[in-house]
Structure 1
């Protein structure tokens, strides 16, 4: 096989403008695209919403042949292909959901050179027929999407991704580009090794997503807290609520629906047809809330997700950042909201203790959890902590997270820490008894509950010595002692035990600083009824125009059976609203309006704007 000839470099910028409707590349895109167009291998680490897809789609359109995209997202391949076809790109896929006839038609199109991009599930590469098919066509490049799936210590590990190292051996002259949204230095190294990308050029973009506001609130009544958050800040917005268990998913979805919020459940235990229908509705309809386990979300290309809420503590910072990154892909203001409490820590420790795997595996899970606890309990900027976890340093606080907007106070909690650790010591070492946080707090507060008196714990020297803190403050103190490794939990009931480091505090050799528990979690101000206008940051007089364009987009999408965002993103409608183009040539200069979309939807946009201009102002009496 001879190395395919490469088109002139300006072709990349031309494709960007003509097909995708953008005048300029985002930071880092040009270097990646030019490198791959020239035939080089690349490993790309770029945050969700940063424009990763263009880093293989444009080279595939510039190079001779078909770009082959390896993706684990079988359930989303149809939507990915539909989005590309809406741009005029010849795209297709091969996976187990197709009929024999559809598969043969797609294979013939590939061999005939009639496809720009072909999506494959990694499982298909195990089939000899797939490799033989690829040998019969011309391959422009291999794109390995969601490349973190190859890393066993990352999240979403997929064994079939290990097969992708063979691409280099079978097709050595075809460039490979592996892409993922989040990777710690350790995961980055593992991806490199497992995919044989040691000699590839590595591109690591800035992981910061400044449009996302990160917030962690103390968990008290999580359902009520979630409902208040949605009603006051995200009424009518699309969003995702993550829960740890399937039963929680269904209960929360039912609760939201009962309280007037359009919500759908998604977890692996649901019937496959129901899962597919719920996912399709979330992608195609405006304003739906998806309540899900982490089985949902990877590859979701819905740009107008305005919030991601977690009702349970994520298992790792890597998973948390991947999940929160599904908000605000369009660059508009969005929220990552997490409710977190003592029981979350107990639950996660119990899951680690009972997990499959050896001691090293459980130790690694514990390290992931410790990093997540550290992020939750920090008094510093959360964004600084997040970026630091991924090996990126930020010089100054972000100004758009809860710890920046409402600075946290820390206090010397050494004496209260000694009191709690002493209570655990008295019960465990003197009486050979183990109890959970609630019972220990009752002892410190001097409460003669039936359980306290039954065990004679009202005679302990630590009984009643903790009256200076409230119950909520003591629960926060226990949570922070766990986060700092000064306490640990074991067993189904979350009994508290001392650690090797506890003795330093008890002896007075170590001081303990804690974050002060807020009396009430701060929240954003109440949002006006037209929340979407706030999200896209429009002046009041422009809101009716934007809403009319959205209505046109929604009706058009419904007619065509595709998600509204495949026609135009909110950000594109916002620019149209502000610029009010009066001709197709003016509309063509709006970001996100490529040639195919201009021809297909341009007149509809102009007609809608003309109708808006002719409509009377609200309240004018005409």
Structure 2
């Protein structure tokens, strides 16, 4: 059997492991149980693929979604790994089982629902396993943002095979979640390998919603390449797809209400595209292992920092520059708090509220976004990252404590039944039929705000809602949240961010990689090969591999084989076609 380094070079075409990949693989090769927390794009799949090639038996991979399994099987097969999946969508079940029993598979993928059944356990009792890998392992934990009860049943599977190394993998797990995963999967504390959470190639930006369609059109215009726009409802995905199509980019919508065949076609079109924008609910994404997504936009608030980190992590998996832009409104926090109260069990509500408050801190900070993210996951980052909106254009901070106290007082004096527009009119001293009807022109807060404070009322209200000092009911009425008391008493100051002035052009991936005719010719060759093979272009080669070809211009198969990402299988299958394209450009 090959050594890990031999498999890395021959199968995948890489000369060295990245980050802590080698450490994880060494533990698996030694038969040790491991939890690896590695950022998206750090090469988690290699940590089980290589041991599966270098240890006797088949690597069993537990993965949560059919689309994700199919994508991983396709990519593994492209480099010569014998891989298959057992899912309800596969019609070759008997063939896969026969290959598995005969020891003819390097990797077998299965969902947790299948892997936890008694029949599946009897099946693997009779077949040697190289390892058991549990992908998206945060789903095991009730502390995790995406808990799935079927993952909890995997403990019986791994306990029945203590001699087989188990490898839990996730990109998204805070301290509580990590501890729970270790306990649930019986992995020793020393088995935790924390590779960090930083995605330095992603530029984070967060803005209040202010003409969302135009904000998104500008983002799409400034960022060529595939992108995802996450919307908060099914209808919104279709409206945004129609709006963004006006900008001249191919767009599709994706949500659970679409016909399954339409949903599958839209997903396949996005995976194969080099410039499509997918407008989707969060049902889309976990099953997409597309490395060349250049931007992820949120048209509304995600559920938590963990969800935000995971969803933005779908951008830039190839390591090239990417953008994550969140557009939010104060009503997002109000809806989120109502959802927690109405839909979340009492035993989990406090944890969900804490997560939402942490998200409020992220959107309201005047400091480095990346630092807030990394501190949430227990890291100690530098104060400035140089690649988020607040670092690139440091915003002015305004002391809005008095405006905040006046707004809270107005909410109290009007019996916490009215929305921001009415409260602003009261504070401004405007006389209207509604204000006379309720006698609000006779209140002590009537007309007490000056012109400068009135300009701050809307951003102050947004900040107070994010910080849980104000809460809005389903009719828009504002009432006190638990953070209101300290502000009213003058014990807690309120500073708000003054948005930075808009720039004519943001740094985008096109500026990082200017137009290169040879690179475009190599992309065209890749498209032709991908179309003929029926696979997405990135399965042939990543953009980074094509750029290295364009930079070094290899003239022989041997020289082409030295390019990072060109393994033996791909060199044999595609080498002549790419050499022809290189020679055609001198």
Query: Which category of TM-score, normalised to the shorter sequence, fits these structures?
Result: over 0.9
Q: What CA deviation, in whole Å up to 9, does each residue of 1:52-100 have, x standing for no partner?
A: 111111111100110000001112322211111110111111111122x
Residue 522 of structure 1 corresponds to which residue in structure 2? 502
Residue 38 of structure 1 corresponds to which residue in structure 2? 30
Q: Distance in 2 between matches of 1:123 and 1:200?
A: 29
Q: Distance in 2 between matches of 1:273 and 1:323?
A: 24
Unaligned runs of 5+ in 1: 1-6, 614-622
Cα drift, residue 332 of structure 1: 0.7
Q: Does residue 1:177 correspond to 2:167, yes or no?
A: yes
* CA distance 1:255–1:130, change in 2 (3 Å): same
Deviates more, 1:568-577 or 1:144-153: 144-153
Residue 5 of structure 2 corresponds to which residue in structure 1? 13
Q: Distance in 2 between matches of 1:453 and 1:238?
A: 54
Correspondent of 1:558 among 527, 531, 534: 531
Cα drift, residue 465 of structure 1: 2.1
Cα drift, residue 468 of structure 1: 2.7
Q: Does residue 1:599 correspond to 2:567, yes or no?
A: no
Three-state SS of the structure 2 residue aligned to 1:179 is strand
Unaligned runs of 5+ in 2: none
Correspondent of 1:512 among 488, 493, 497: 493
Q: What CA deviation, in whole Å up to 9, does each residue of 1:500-559 have, x standing for no partner?
A: 543443333x141312332x65346167xxx76534x25x5xx00000111110111011
Correspondent of 1:227 among 208, 217, 232: 217
Q: Does residue 1:252 correspond to 2:244, yes or no?
A: no
Conserved 8 A contact 2:201-2:321:
yes
Q: What CA deviation, in whole Å up to 9, does each residue of 1:455-492 have, x standing for no partner?
A: 2323322222223337663111012123334x231421
Residue 104 of structure 1 corresponds to which residue in structure 2? 94
Deviates more, 1:19-28 or 1:217-226: 217-226
Conserved 8 A contact 1:303-1:329:
yes
Q: What CA deviation, in whole Å up to 9, does each residue of 1:162-209 have, x standing for no partner?
A: 111112322121110000011111111111122222356110012111
Q: What CA deviation, in whole Å up to 9, does each residue of 1:213-244 have, x standing for no partner?
A: 0001121111111112111x114x10110111
Q: Distance in 2 between matches of 1:395 and 1:225?
A: 30
Cα drift, residue 124 of structure 1: 1.0
The 5-angstrom pairing of residues 16-415 of structure 1 reads 16-99=8-91, 102-198=92-188, 201-231=191-221, 233-235=222-224, 237-358=225-346, 360-415=347-402
Cα drift, residue 434 of structure 1: 1.2
Three-state SS of the structure 1 residue aligned to 2:9 is helix
Residue 502 of structure 1 corresponds to which residue in structure 2? 484
* CA distance 1:344–1:612, change in 2 (3 Å): same
Three-state SS of the structure 1 residue aligned to 2:585 is helix
Conserved 8 A contact 1:66-1:118:
yes
Conserved 8 A contact 1:306-1:334:
yes
Q: Distance in 2 between matches of 1:255 and 1:443?
A: 37
Conserved 8 A contact 1:40-1:200:
no
* CA distance 1:207–1:501, change in 2 (3 Å): closer
* CA distance 1:342–1:449, change in 2 (3 Å): farther
Conserved 8 A contact 1:42-1:176:
yes
Three-state SS of the structure 2 residue aligned to 1:19 is helix
Q: Distance in 2 between matches of 1:551 and 1:472?
A: 53
Three-state SS of the structure 1 residue aligned to 2:498 is coil
Residue 560 of structure 2 corresponds to which residue in structure 1? 587
Deviates more, 1:10-19 or 1:86-95: 10-19
Q: TM-score, normalised by structure 2?
A: 0.96
Conserved 8 A contact 1:423-1:440:
yes
* CA distance 1:582–1:390, change in 2 (3 Å): same
Q: Distance in 1 between matches of 2:154 and 2:420?
A: 48
Q: Distance in 1 between matches of 2:5 and 2:12?
A: 10
Conserved 8 A contact 1:417-1:512:
no
Q: Distance in 2 between matches of 1:472 and 1:342?
A: 16
Q: TM-score, normalised by structure 1?
A: 0.91
Question: How many corresponding residue pairs?
Answer: 586
Q: What CA deviation, in whole Å up to 9, does each residue of 1:291-333 have, x standing for no partner?
A: 1111111142111100000010111000000000100011111
Three-state SS of the structure 2 residue aligned to 1:411 is strand
Q: Distance in 1 between matches of 2:36 and 2:228?
A: 26
Correspondent of 1:534 among 511, 530, 535: 511
Three-state SS of the structure 2 residue aligned to 1:469 is helix
* CA distance 1:61–1:521, change in 2 (3 Å): farther
Q: What CA deviation, in whole Å up to 9, does each residue of 1:218-273 have, x standing for no partner?
A: 21111111112111x114x1011011111111211122224432111111222222
Conserved 8 A contact 1:445-1:463:
yes
The Cα RMSD (Å) is 1.8
Q: Distance in 2 between matches of 1:294 and 1:109?
A: 35
Q: Distance in 2 between matches of 1:296 and 1:303?
A: 15
Conserved 8 A contact 2:138-2:172:
yes
Q: Distance in 2 between matches of 1:245 and 1:197?
A: 39
Three-state SS of the structure 2 residue aligned to 1:217 is strand
Q: What CA deviation, in whole Å up to 9, does each residue of 1:560-585 have, x standing for no partner?
A: 11000000000111111111111111
The 5-angstrom pairing of residues 461-500 of structure 1 reads 461-469=444-452, 473-485=456-468, 487-500=469-482
